[in-house]
Amino acid sequence: MEFALSQEQVLFSDSLRGLLTERVTIDALRHHAETGSGFDEGLWDSLVELGLPGLLVPERFGGAGLGIVDAAVAAEVIGGTAAFAPFAGSVVMATLAFVHAATEALQSEWLPRIAAGEVRFGVGISRNGGQVHAAIDAGTATHLLVYLPDGNAAVVPATQASVHMHRSIDRTRPVTDLTIDPAQAIILDAANAPQAAMQRVLDAGRVVLAADTLGAAQHMFDSALAFVKQREQFGRIIGSFQAMKHQFADMVTMLEPCRGMVWYAAYAQDALPDEARVTALQTKAHLGDVGREIARMATEAHGGMGFTDLLGLHYWFKRIMFNRQMLGGPEHCREEAARVQGWV
């Protein structure tokens, strides 16, 4: 038994963090937020070089063939740097949709293109057979993958859909409504149990969004901790005030167990089928709640500066807000966890 990241995972996480820290500076973030579609060609090319889009694509289709734990590790770094790069939908959910529900022929046609970063998917759920509210990563996606009420997924080029992009509260990521015509789509219908296959994909997305929130919350916490160690008032470093210390103790006591939780839920998706659903739903819900608390407390610890646009901490604050609502907010996820366990 070993419940820790492997050396490879730590190295991968470090190199991704190195790249993103260099490229996603606060100025770049600010610039992107003014115009943002959630996508930056140059950054994407660098991520392709690193092999990020093929993370979950099986090796025989040109990917790295890694698992959800690796995806969660990457998501934590992406959230930590507030990187404007499609990931949860485009890299994780779309890949898994093909892996779990596409025929061999469709897999060999599409998965290599995903791994090569040639195609980027927006992912949505349609309750009525074509219309989608708040699709993930659909800003400048080349293709759209829409789950239909029967649990099968419809794939269309973005040009064939009617797409409405709204700038969201998180200026680095738009929220997109779209309509497709399933009759014109390629249908991924090779899963034996389409609803279960769809849930696996949604749950993987939930774990990855939770990991993104973990990274964003950790960034806010680290930033606040560094601030209170250098800011002086009343002739003292403000971090020496017990009121401050106790807030930081509360934050770290909430936040640190979340990392194990995210790893556990990610691991469960691939290795513990009996626990996969409940842990994904609970982790998405818990990180939504903890993320909100950390975002507020970390902002508050910065005093007036925390509230300014100048410092830019709000990008992470809003990233946490955005993640909280996507693929079901905490109440919704917990209620689904209750249904999964037969409590309702």
Structure tokens at 188: 């991924």
Instruction: Tell me how far apart the alpha carbons of residues 315 and 30 are, in angstroms, rounded to a whole number.
Output: 9
Sorted by sequence, the CB contacts under 8 Å of residue 235 that are 6+ apart come out as none
Q: Does 208 bind another protein (CB under 8 A)?
A: no
What residues from 213 to 272 belong to the interface with another protein (CB under 8 A)?
A: 225, 228-229, 236-237, 239-242, 244-246, 248-250, 252-253, 256-261, 263-265, 267, 271-272
Segment holding 94, helix H or strand E: helix 94-101
What residues from 58 to 117 belong to the interface with another protein (CB under 8 A)?
A: 69
Instruction: Tell me how far apart the alpha carbons of residues 38 and 79 are, in angstroms, rounded to a whole number.
Output: 13
Helices 242-271 and 68-81 pack at an angle, to 10 degrees, of 150
What residues from 297 to 336 belong to the interface with another protein (CB under 8 A)?
A: 331, 334-335
Q: Does 293 bind another protein (CB under 8 A)?
A: no
Instruction: Tell me how far apart the alpha carbons of residues 229 and 236 are, in angstroms, rounded to a whole number.
Output: 10
Q: Which residue pairs, CB below 8 angstroms and at least 24 apart, start in 164-169?
A: 165/37, 165/138, 165/139, 167/36, 168/322, 169/318, 169/321, 169/322
Q: Does 1 bind another protein (CB under 8 A)?
A: yes
Give the residue with the Cβ less far from another protein, 44 or 227. Answer: 227
Stretch that binds another protein, among 4-12, 79-87, 111-119, 314-322 (CB under 8 A): 4-12
Least distance to another protein, CB of residue 279, Å: 6
Give the residue with the Cβ less far from another protein, 9 or 325. Answer: 9
Instruction: Tell me how far apart the alpha carbons of residues 147 and 160 are, in angstroms, rounded to a whole number.
Output: 16
Least distance to another protein, CB of residue 302, Å: 15
Among 102, 111, 285, 301, binds another protein (CB under 8 A): 285
User: For strand 162-166 and strand 131-135, is the pairing parallel, antiparallel, or unpaired?
Assistant: unpaired
Question: In the complex, which residues of this chain contact another protein (CB under 8 A)?
Answer: 1-6, 9, 69, 225, 228-229, 236-237, 239-242, 244-246, 248-250, 252-253, 256-261, 263-265, 267, 271-272, 278-279, 282-283, 285-286, 289, 331, 334-335, 337-338, 343-344
